Amino acid sequence: MVNLSLKRRIPPLENGDRLTRYEFERRYQAMPRHQKAELIEGVVYLASPLRFESHAEPHGHLIGWLWTYQIATPGVRLGIEPTVRLDRDNEPQPDGVLLITPTSQGQSRLSDDDYIEGAPELVIEIAASSVAIDLHDKKKVYGRNGVKEYIIWQIFENKLDWFCLQQGEYVSLELDADGIIKSKVFPGLWLSMSDLLAGNMPQVLAVLQLGLDSPEHQMFVQQLSGEER
């Protein structure tokens, strides 16, 4: 006789499972302890335990920088490790997203069950043990689905790349003469890369403040509020 309780039991997620997004969500929601899990190109990836200096601290630095920008920019929202429904085979959980709200003409929205659907304008990933997938499959998936900017911080290499989507391909944003990277999508989002990599957060925030005081940022805020529409 078949044990009906076993027959009805939902299988747990395992690394390497090949699933549709629907089946991935069904198994993920049934897990008794929700560890971080992502679906990339139809393959399940379960996160490893996170260390402090190689993930948690740099993650905090980037989020602090983005949060400072977000509170000065109405119409922009920041999220930490949200589930993002991109397409049938991809449901990542990036380390952070910065998005423009739908009312301010953003390209993603929140579903009725409170998940992001569509591509946020900016995605960040902290890459230590995950560098291979973050630099390859995830990068390809984000670009294909229209994530306009992608920041990936390779911790062990102490290297940060900031990509901007141009004609369907990611192109690296370059430092200006002052060593600052400036977002193409979020005017005023300025980053002193050398200070971030050195852990000099007061200077990182000082440079960001220059961006927030710029005419470009003021015009962007007016645009988001609808004053120019």
Judged against a pLDDT cut of 90, whether residue 72 lies above it is answered with yes
Q: Given this model, what pLDDT does residue 210 score?
A: 98
Sign for the CA dihedral angle at 48, 69, 161, 220 comes to positive
Q: Given this model, what pLDDT does residue 33 score?
A: 67
Give the least confident one: 23-32, 85-94, 201-210, 216-225: 23-32
Q: Given this model, what pLDDT does residue 190 score?
A: 98
Give the integer Cα–Cα distance in Å for 83 and 110: 11
Give the integer Cα–Cα distance in Å for 155 and 90: 25
Question: Across residues 172-200, what is the average pLDDT?
Answer: 96
Question: Across residues 135-155, what is the average pLDDT?
Answer: 92
pLDDT digits (tens, 9 = 90+) for 114-133: 999 999 999 999 987 555 56
Quote the radius of gyration of the chain (alpha carbons, Å): 19
Q: Which of residues 41 and 195 earns the better pLDDT score?
A: 195
Judged against a pLDDT cut of 50, whether residue 151 lies above it is answered with yes
Judged against a pLDDT cut of 90, whether residue 7 lies above it is answered with no
Sign for the CA dihedral angle at 133, 136, 137, 138 comes to positive
Strands 122-127 and 96-100: antiparallel
Give the integer Cα–Cα distance in Å for 106 and 23: 28
Q: Given this model, what pLDDT does residue 6 score?
A: 39
Q: Which of residues 155 and 65 earns the better pLDDT score?
A: 65
pLDDT digits (tens, 9 = 90+) for 202-226: 999 999 999 999 999 999 999 998 8
Sign for the CA dihedral angle at 209, 192, 123, 162 comes to positive
* Burial category of 172 from C-beta neighbours within 10 Å (exposed 0-12, middle 13-18, buried 19 and up): exposed
CA distances from 167 to 146, 161, 194, 226 (A): 10, 19, 29, 27
Question: All domains of the chain, ordered by start, with CATH?
Answer: 51-225 (3.90.1570.10)
Question: Across residues 94-123, what is the average pLDDT?
Answer: 96
Closest residue by Cα to residue 200 from 208, 192, 189:
192
Residue 33 Ramachandran class (φ > 0 left, ψ -120 to 50 alpha, else beta): beta
- Pair 193, 179: CB distance under 8 Å: yes
Per the document, the length of the chain is 229
